[in-house]
Structure 1
């Protein structure tokens, strides 16, 4: 169905101008037909799911905007030894899937509770939180290859997962992917106990040691509570949740750069090996940008956008913010961290029609 649409209504940040041509597709076949039609016409294509990882220009997007609305899942196999294989439609709400998994005693994604957005978006940037990411459970992704006009299935190794990265992200340009995700297959263990808890804060509130397991329901409850305390669970009444979540990725630096930082700076082995992962939130705070930066009188955003009042890693729409207001805060923070530590923060969300 084609209609006029303000893209601000489709993003969790609540900014962005109008779509040139907005279409919602509710099945795999509809998705493929819209993509093929746009490509045949030479029309720029932007694909939107839950809109939780997009910063769209105030001028909007002049081409075709396709919202993925396919939902549902099927169970391919289930046995006491091999676990359960769940094939999920790209437009299925990801947190609904996590909740379903916990209720059915399918283990492995409980620590990803509360993450906004749709299942099809999760493999693109290897979504993760609290010591877990989807690369630990995704076994395959079925896509439409726009270059070859064919269906293709990527196995886990072919997806080339990295920290907030995958082959799907690497082949996406300005929100327009080569590979359009149709379904995602998760391989989950059977049992009421969670995967090993890898995040110290989560282990502490669960009362277990890092590396130990807890009941999946308990993990979901505590993760949701932790996320809510940081404004990371969507709530229309809480302006701290009007964001893209973490605006900057945690920097990966060489060991020598890490050693140049103060001893108290959090440092973690990078999952890709050879590098050290830093805390973007710590760098932002130590560079002088405290919670709520941007709300002050005469701020760079006119107080319409600011860092969250709950933590320093989200940039929030305080009401009537434009995309440029949000980017003004982001630019100030990035420049300040670079000046203080010589480290350039990189945005986590996709920037559509705008630059940082």
Structure 2
């Protein structure tokens, strides 16, 4: 017997997204198992309906008008161990609707290293590879093995390797960027991670960015539990852990991406603007067969890596401080973090979009750089 997703009374997306904005869809289904999710999406695609899948709703800004299609709530949960190919590692298959932070808590409790620095990130496991989530120098690309993908074009359930997802900085082939659709359309049913079994004792902390964020020296050793609690405390101070009593958490996290620019453009920005080269230039080595050497060596072409620059710094130094809002608007920058647009209570998607456009215009006017939104925008124009 085929499992059927439960049809429920459509709820406004403002109740299902962390930005707390969005109208109700024409139709809403709740898929509690992988089979229900597969059956629901297969039928929707066969009928040619517009569709939207919603997990934790933490990376969505949905318009105020009715969504003229079907919203599928992804609620399949579960974690299972699957065979690993190497000693000392553990593979986990996680259902797409499983809460991400609950997953991190499970891995830390089991002594498995690899995603502990991503504690406190809202959302579900299935959404994590779509934008290659990360925090403090740790990204899911480092541990993701594969996903089960229900492909819209074929209608087939496929096992897709992490390499095929072309994971980049907060992106993948599955992510729809503002103004550009996803390069591959489908729905993730489960993900598989490979984590290192390190137990519960103190261990060295890998990654300079993570050590800096945690205030650790290069030779410091701490437990996974300590890392998780410290990261959650740090994120909470920035309003990046959901809290019903804190409007600063009614956001989609960082609304604008840190911009990636050429090295020459980065030099036009003030020296105080934080920046991070995306790669390290390595001298090339030329091998010239002795029989073909004519005494001349063509000098290697010098290339400079692209540079990631701080969007938060650009926003604040364009005159938009933490807590900034437009007159009579219920949308504002977080009082803790200049990258987060927040709903201070009852803000519409239109108000949030108006603030986002104003920020883009100010930064572009001041620095000649157009910031790009990180959340997926549905029925909203910037």
Cα distance in 1 for residues equivalent to 2:152 and 2:14:
27
Cα distance in 1 for residues equivalent to 2:280 and 2:71:
34
Instruction: Map 1:100-115 to 2 at 5 A.
Output: 100-115=106-121
Cα distance in 2 for residues equivalent to 1:212 and 1:269:
26
Q: Which runs of 5+ in 2 are unaligned?
A: 1-5, 282-304
Query: Cα distance, 1:77 vs. partner?
Result: 3.0
Distance verdict in 2 for CA 1:56–1:305, change over 3 Å: same
Query: Cα distance, 1:206 vs. partner?
Result: 4.0
2:197 corresponds to: 190
Instruction: Choose from 334, 338, 352 the match for 1:312.
Output: 338
Instruction: Choose from 167, 176, 180 the match for 2:173.
Output: 167
1:220 corresponds to: 228
Cα distance in 2 for residues equivalent to 1:176 and 1:30:
25
Q: Do the aligned partners of 1:163 and 1:271 also contact (CA within 8 Å) in 2?
A: no
Structure 1 moving runs of 4+ over 6 Å: 171-177
Query: Cα distance, 1:80 vs. partner?
Result: 8.2
Instruction: Choose from 287, 290, 294 the match for 2:321.
Output: 290
Helix, strand or coil at the partner of 1:277: strand
Q: Do the aligned partners of 2:175 and 2:181 also contact (CA within 8 Å) in 1?
A: no
Helix, strand or coil at the partner of 1:97: helix
**Is the aligned partner of 1:270 residue 2:301?**
no
Report which stretch shifted further, 187-196 or 98-107.
187-196
1:179 corresponds to: 186
Root-mean-square deviation (Å): 2.1
Instruction: Map 1:232-243 to 2 at 5 A.
Output: 232-243=240-251
Helix, strand or coil at the partner of 1:199: helix
Q: Do the aligned partners of 2:330 and 2:347 also contact (CA within 8 Å) in 1?
A: yes
Distance verdict in 2 for CA 1:105–1:276, change over 3 Å: same
1:337 corresponds to: 363
1:207 corresponds to: 216
Cα distance in 2 for residues equivalent to 1:257 and 1:171:
23
**Is the aligned partner of 1:250 residue 2:258?**
yes
Larger Rg: 2
Cα distance in 2 for residues equivalent to 1:59 and 1:259:
43
Helix, strand or coil at the partner of 1:92: coil
Query: Cα distance, 1:205 vs. partner?
Result: 3.4
Q: How many residues align?
A: 349
Cα distance in 2 for residues equivalent to 1:176 and 1:20:
26
Query: Cα distance, 1:216 vs. partner?
Result: 1.0
Instruction: Map 1:37-52 to 2 at 5 A.
Output: 37-52=43-58
Query: Cα distance, 1:195 vs. partner?
Result: 5.4
Query: Cα distance, 1:141 vs. partner?
Result: 0.8
Instruction: Choose from 339, 347, 350 the match for 2:376.
Output: 350
Q: Do the aligned partners of 1:162 and 1:272 also contact (CA within 8 Å) in 2?
A: no
Cα distance in 1 for residues equivalent to 2:58 and 2:270:
33
Cα distance in 1 for residues equivalent to 2:204 and 2:379:
41
Query: Cα distance, 1:81 vs. partner?
Result: 2.6
Distance verdict in 2 for CA 1:213–1:186, change over 3 Å: farther
